[in-house]
Structure 1
Amino acid sequence: MRKVSVLILALTVFLAVQAGVASAATKLDSTVSKLIGIDYDYGGTTTNGFDCSGFTSYVFKKFDLKLPHSSKEQFSLGDKVERDDLRPGDLVFFNTSGSGVSHVGIYVGDNKFAHSASKGVTISDLDEKYYAKRYLGARRVMDSDTYKDVAIEHV
């Protein structure tokens, strides 16, 4: 009986912590979460379908930041960021075509990034074998004020 009580207590604490995390979402988190599952569409820039740079452009437009609709052009913006220094809102870039920058996503924290891939808008881990082998770098395009407003939890 004691083991069952401990298990129930542990489960209750786990669920309470998860509920607290869910309620502390940032503007970036809530913007991205509404788009998860939207289909991939080459050249797409709307909720009818996104390609990778159409997705990043759409999200950043919500925060009054204009990005070009090209992963290569987005790669030339902002400041270079080392992988160990990534923060939510940084753009992460990949070579998925074999010829330089061809894919972009938005770092969302915890080693994960949101992007529009062939399976639609999803969250992936930077350490997934496919992406880890193709990672090219990251750029910070949000200034400090925008970052504080959209990517930090507001209590």
Structure 2
Amino acid sequence: MKLQPGREAVVRVAVATLWTSPEAVRPVDRPALTAGADILTWVSGLDTDQQVGDCVLSQLLLGERVLVSELRPDGWARVVAVEQPAAKLDPRGYPGWLPTEQLTPVDPSTDTGTDPPLVVDSTVTGLHAAPNGPEVLPGVVVGTRLVPAGPARDDWRPVHVPGHAAPLWLPDDHLVATSAEAPAAAQALAVAQRLLDVAYIWGGLSAHGIDCSGLVHLAWRRFGVLLPRDADDQAVATTPLELGAERPGDLYFFARPGRKIHHIGIVTAPPGNRGERRMLHACYRRRRVIEEPLPADRTATLVGAHRV
């Protein structure tokens, strides 16, 4: 099977980066462009300015579906990330460019729909050729959905992996079953708290590097809740609260006067008696995920609290 415009494909690497255009990538981005997509090496090679380069739009996780709209002979595919809502950009999902080597056609034999998918709950894990065997695909992150390929054996679970003919294996306790029940806000907050100190990467959506709206999207994605990718769209998709009624796991939104929402954080404590507030967020200024009281300049741009 080959990739074809107008058909769906799936991501075959642990984390694929969605780019504004093939021409926008920089020499420092090379590790993220390979067939193996070494995101950890890529992130570690970025300086603080490169961490916020606007060439990155988002990231996609192993097994995530895209709609291919164009294939270029130089190895790039224009796609729509259909699992990342972005209504203002494209009603089908988030548009951008991926290296074709990081995609593979949908395999109907592993997409039967009879087995409910599993979700990676470990912050970062790896997929192996056999139980306790060599690692084949490192860097798989929390929130990744995998299709089971049979029962667990010796505390290892086989899963179907795009681009691999034989099942790969990971520790069974790194996975959880999907649930139709909506998570409590505190559960999503607990996932986000595991990403404290992860590097801030503009457009990042993984435990290797993440941005403010990516942190929110990924925390709820772990529980099967599909929030939009960008902060302003996340505000539209959630329920406003009166300031003062927020509780841990709710969301704070920030905007400058007359401008659209530019930042989001996750509430970590009820507001204090004098209105003091705390949040967990991927901080552009500090270039990492932090938990802190809202400083005065953040409070001045706080435009609302919302609940998922």
Q: TM-score range by the shorter chain?
A: 0.5 to 0.7
TM-score scaled by length of structure 2: 0.35
Give the distance between the partners of 2:262 and 2:201, measured in 1 at CA.
Answer: 15
How far 1:88 moved relative to its partner? 1.5
1:116 alignment partner in structure 2: 282
Give the distance between the partners of 2:209 and 2:257, measured in 1 at CA.
Answer: 21
Q: 1:103 to 1:84 in 2, by over 3 A?
A: same
Aligned length, in residue pairs = 115
**Which amino acid is 2:248 matched to?**
P
8 Å CA contact retained: 1:93, 1:104: yes
Select the structure with the greater relative contact order (CA < 8 A; seq sep ≥ 6): 1
Is 2:172 aligned against 1:51?
no
**Pairing 1:100-139 to 2, within 5 Å after superposition:** 100-110=260-270, 111-118=277-284, 119=286, 120-126=288-294, 128-139=295-306
Q: 1:98 to 1:115 in 2, by over 3 A?
A: farther
Percent identity over the alignment?
A: 28
Alpha-carbon displacement from aligned partner over 1:70-102 (angstroms, at most 9, x marks no partner): 001001122211111001221110026972200
How far 1:47 moved relative to its partner? 0.9
Give the distance between the partners of 1:30 and 1:87, measured in 2 at CA.
Answer: 14
Give the distance between the partners of 1:88 and 1:47, measured in 2 at CA.
Answer: 21
**Pairing 1:70-89 to 2, within 5 Å after superposition:** 70-89=230-249
8 Å CA contact retained: 1:60, 1:66: yes
TM-score scaled by length of structure 1: 0.67
**Pairing 1:23-62 to 2, within 5 Å after superposition:** 27-62=187-222
Greater Rg over alpha carbons, structure: 2
Q: CA RMSD in A?
A: 1.9
Give the distance between the partners of 1:27 and 1:78, measured in 2 at CA.
Answer: 17
How far 1:33 moved relative to its partner? 2.5
95-104 or 108-117: which moved more?
95-104
**Which amino acid is 2:224 matched to?**
D
How far 1:38 moved relative to its partner? 0.3
8 Å CA contact retained: 1:77, 1:139: no
Structure 1's unaligned 5+ residue stretches are 1-25, 142-155
Q: Hey, which of these two has a bigger chunk of helix by percent?
A: 1
User: What is the DSSP-based 3-state SS (H/G/I as helix, E as strand, rest coil) of the residue aligned with 2:268?
Assistant: strand
Give the distance between the partners of 1:123 and 1:98, measured in 2 at CA.
Answer: 27
How far 1:48 moved relative to its partner? 1.3
**Which amino acid is 2:226 matched to?**
K
How far 1:138 moved relative to its partner? 1.5
Q: Hey, which of these two has a bigger chunk of strand by percent?
A: 2
